[in-house]
Structure 1
Amino acid sequence: MLAEKLNNTPVVPLVQADDPEVALKTVAALQAGGLDIIEVVLRTDAALSCLEAIAKEASGAIVGAGTVLSESQAKEAVKHGAKFIVSPGLNDDVVKFCQAHKLEVFPGVVTPSEVQRAWNLGLRTVKFFPAGLSGGAPMLKALSSVFRGMKFMPTGGVSTDNLKDFLAIPSVIACGGSWLTPAKEIEAGNFGAVTELASEAVKLAAEVRK
């Protein structure tokens, strides 16, 4: 189901919140704009509570946990409702835990050696992070030319301006990013801005993935 949804709408917004109510409003705004796959980053003390609230109350949303640094964090995230796991780096213990529990996992990679290691672990989809600081679309094209069976999810530095450039690369399964959930707008309660950004991303994605 996750792969099918990503194929139809290849954009994954990152949600960072320390209040479950705010997290739910943010997700509702993203869904209103057409985005249903949500990554809740574990960067606040209340992140797991926000994750659980979304998993229980946001109908139609597929929610995962991001910034997962250890197997213990992965376990806690799953207990709180995470349907997939995203990490900034390649952690063997996190990968093996997810594989054992048949969970989608997207560990972060940058170098050819890290992609090779991910391949050796049996992974065929990884996160390319931080995409903007690591060569962007040209670097992804270079990696894709030698790792022909690998799919990538660039995150970090992705924006409205370069979304189409990334999605035009055949090996890119989706793009992730926090540009869709600007903290300033959310703090101001302007969730309409989140919906507008989500709608724009969906439109741009459709122009590339017709």
Structure 2
Amino acid sequence: MQDLQKRVGAVLALAPVVPVLVIDDLAHAVPLARALVAGGLPAIEVTLRTPVALEAVRAIAAEVEGAAVGVGSVRRPQDFVDALKAGATFAVSPGSSPGLIAAAREIDLPWLPGAATASEAMALLEQGYTQLKFFPAESIGGATALKSLGGPLPELRFCATGGIGANNAREYLALANVPCVGGSWVAPAAAVKAGDWAKVEALAREAAALK
């Protein structure tokens, strides 16, 4: 468990922003990831929200040098298996469950479980998790809530995700318990659809300079 948590921590330390991607067209996966890596955001989360998500992960893992690609929206134990087979280097969930916690212990894949309350964070800490996702961040108190959690739970680190963009990312990144934030603003749907990879790279470069 400690080794897996260290590996999660290493991913979260790669850049101040983890792009959270919903990839509808498999042809976009590799050029999109290359643009993000070129802009300084090597840790990339591809959510399991589309039929091509796992194929996108497989393509990025195989073809994009320097990318640390993970699978997001993990909700079932089988998702861990599928993610590892696709070449993912980490997995992310919006929350946690007994079934997911048990499955995560049986597979060599770093996992970032989600927590929205102090009770959920404490329950995960009891299971050995010190690297968590804070979701949905803006809806559950934002940076103010995360700062409050830092007092009684100083050993926890959070990747805040949900409602975060260029306008408020710095507020989160200024906190000692937030190594990075997750967001989709660095890969706008219109730019991706148009294949405007220069735009994506420019946004990634701005995001990489946030901290």
**TM tier, smaller:** over 0.9
Whole-angstrom CA distance in 1 between matches of 2:179 and 2:100: 21
Whole-angstrom CA distance in 2 between matches of 1:50 and 1:6: 21
Which moves more between the two structures, 89-98 or 158-167? Answer: 89-98
Which moves more between the two structures, 3-12 or 63-72? Answer: 3-12
Whole-angstrom CA distance in 1 between matches of 2:126 and 2:10: 25
Retained in 1: the 8 A contact 2:14–2:43? no
Whole-angstrom CA distance in 2 between matches of 1:199 and 1:133: 27
Retained in 2: the 8 A contact 1:91–1:107? no
1:79 aligns with 2:85: yes
1:149 aligns with 2:163: no
User: 1:98 maps to what in 2?
Assistant: 104
Superposition deviation, residue 2 in structure 1 = 5.4
User: Gapped runs of 5+ residues in structure 2?
Assistant: 1-6
TM-score (norm 1): 0.92
The alignment yields a C-alpha RMSD, in angstroms, of 1.4
Partner deviation per Cα, 1:111-146 (whole Å, 9 max, x = no partner): 111111111111001100011111100000111111
Whole-angstrom CA distance in 1 between matches of 2:43 and 2:64: 11
Flag the 1:3–1:120 CA change in 2: closer, same or farther, 3 A.
closer
Letter in 1 for 2:109: L
TM-score (norm 2): 0.92
User: 1:138 maps to what in 2?
Assistant: 144
Letter in 2 for 1:76: D
1:115 aligns with 2:121: yes
Choose the corresponding residue for 2:47, options 41, 44, 48. Answer: 41
5 Å matches for 1:18-37? Answer: 18-37=24-43
Partner deviation per Cα, 1:43-70 (whole Å, 9 max, x = no partner): 0011111111111111111111000111
Superposition deviation, residue 5 in structure 1 = 5.2
Letter in 2 for 1:59: E
SS at match of 1:146: coil
Retained in 1: the 8 A contact 2:80–2:107? no
Choose the corresponding residue for 1:126, options 124, 132, 141. Answer: 132
Partner deviation per Cα, 1:22-49 (whole Å, 9 max, x = no partner): 0111101101111111111000011111
Superposition deviation, residue 178 in structure 1 = 0.8
Choose the corresponding residue for 1:55, options 51, 61, 71. Answer: 61
Whole-angstrom CA distance in 2 between matches of 1:17 and 1:135: 29
Letter in 2 for 1:15: L
User: 1:182 maps to what in 2?
Assistant: 188
Superposition deviation, residue 96 in structure 1 = 3.1
Letter in 2 for 1:127: K
Whole-angstrom CA distance in 2 between matches of 1:32 and 1:188: 18
1:161 aligns with 2:167: yes
Stretches of 4+ aligned residues off by more than 4 angstroms: none
Letter in 1 for 2:158: F
Whole-angstrom CA distance in 2 between matches of 1:95 and 1:64: 18
Give the paired residue count: 205
Whole-angstrom CA distance in 1 between matches of 2:184 and 2:207: 12
Letter in 2 for 1:196: A
User: 2:203 maps to what in 1?
Assistant: 197
